[in-house]
Structure 1
Amino acid sequence: METINWGIIGCGNVTEKKSGPAFNKVPNSRLVAVMRRDAGKAADYAQRHGVSKWYSDADELMNDPEINAVYIATPPAQHLPYALSALKKGLHVYVEKPVTLNAAEAKQIADAIAQSNAKLTVCHYRRQLPLFLKIRELIETGAIGDIRIIQIRLWQSRKPGLVANSETNWRINPELSGGGYFHDLAPHQLDIMLYYFGKPLKYSGFSLNQADMSAADDNVNGQILFSNNIPVSGSWSFNVFEHEQTDLCEIIGSTGKISFAFFGNYIKLNNELIEVTHPEHIQQPMIEQVVRYFRGERAVNPAPIEEAVTLMQIMDAFTSK
């Protein structure tokens, strides 16, 4: 089977440690080229990371005959056109979250995959992290009995420490990100709910722009009902007093409770604290599975577009006016 030879489209901050180096550290995978519209920054990234080729044009990278897969790590507004172009060229695609600006765009990608011989996986990498696999195990083995209710709270200040720094702060420009910090952070949380509990039966919500600091809403609330009568309620705020910042998920069952932070490294099972060490490159476990899927060694897509469409439908329902 062939080696997966990667090209990164958008070698910004997220690729410095979380993902970029991992492409050379998993079996049968090699980072061949990187692209950024700023040629100087693309060349600098390539030099620092030992990448042999760099481009300032995405089409040139995708036309490189050595490349057979691309990692799209641009702001979400560019995900759809780059993904469609790559699939049309027969390139496998690993695309950052949120997969697109909205569900309609995600459906376009799903339709394109059906017409392509290439494969696509969405970058919902928490599905492969030991912490979230352990939580799934606790749920499936009945460690807390039957699940009664799940509550998600992510309350952050106007400049969340959870968000990577960027020169333009594109994350609060809905034309580039789809919304605000909710669109940047909530996909990690909501996708894990889909991963644990499957397709939802129904969902609804609303969003507000309380602080009016940008065009993006800064307060989102939503509810999801899964099968087996499992209800999830979520609250996201990005304008709270810094001392009230919270990252907490509580899964309450008939005989106990699991608590954890989506952006932390611990699980609390009732009164037992379980600490979990994340890998140096947090996307590496997912990238390993993506490579295996692209090579045909793994039959099941680790994060398929169909589930990302559902995720975007939920996010649209929570934030649409």
Structure 2
Amino acid sequence: MKGKETKELPIQKKFNDALYWATSTLSKDKEYHITRTLDAVLRKLIHYSNTNEKITYSNSIIAEHTFMGEETIKKAIPELRKKNYVSIANTRIFDEGKVTTRRTINIKWDKIESILGEVPKSKTENKEVQDDITAEIILTSDLPEVVKTVEPSAIPIEPIVKSIDVDDEVTVIRESEFKENKQVIPRVVITDEKLKWAKSKYKDPSLTKDSFESFDDKDLSLVFYGVDGIMKIDDANYENKHLIKLYHQGGSYCKLSNLNKKNTSIRVNYNDLMHLLKQRNLEFGDFNEYLYQYIAINEIPKKPKNDDNFKPVI
């Protein structure tokens, strides 16, 4: 008796054109643009889906089938999910105090089909696409307040308050962003420090970085930062879900580090910082990269000496 056949979608017969376009240099400014490595991994996942609608292979198996390193696969699949090519469902199993996860990957054919609709049908259309890009650059250069073309994945910026150059990139800051908190929360990266913290917090010395690899972003954030968005590493070190770290071992000053960028830290007055957060009705868990950059280029207002109700937020 034959197994149940899955009805093939039209896009499954012609996805090659969509992926060729997605890896083309002409699509490099599109949010769906992927590298050759991501393309190879995605094609292998599509190959799996021809026989199994749900893909449950581990990173090590996929690495063997693609002749790539396991670390490459480990990084590629979350990137494909971020670009909406695949969806991932995680089943967590609790057994005698230990947590194991089972990952299921599904191809998002509607995403690939939408890309197919953008594929130029001739060289003439390719030229038109390039002309459109050139025209857009020319028009953009005429706008006085636009300092850089913002990638689709970036957060939309409205009225400009101030801009600074950081590592040859232009960062636009607007003060209202602090309260609106529109910044995308970065994905949790499991460092050795976080792994050590998790082993102590959850009293499970057998935990490894792989124990968390299939957790989705929301679950990872809850595991490490909790509902308040703050991870207390020790009495002097705090890190929040926006990857802003605070080190204060007593005294007037503390150190703030922006873990979104390498070797980026500032030294500020601790009480002035706490007063600023209080004035903006923020907790440290709300402290995002925009506020960090604002503080980096502006002096923090001094805490009034007569503020008897002052209390640090952490």
TM range (shorter): under 0.3
Scaled by the length of structure 1, what TM-score is found? 0.22
* Higher strand fraction (1 or 2): 1
Of structures 1 and 2, the one scoring higher in RCO (CA 8 A, sep 6+) is: 1
Scaled by the length of structure 2, what TM-score is found? 0.22
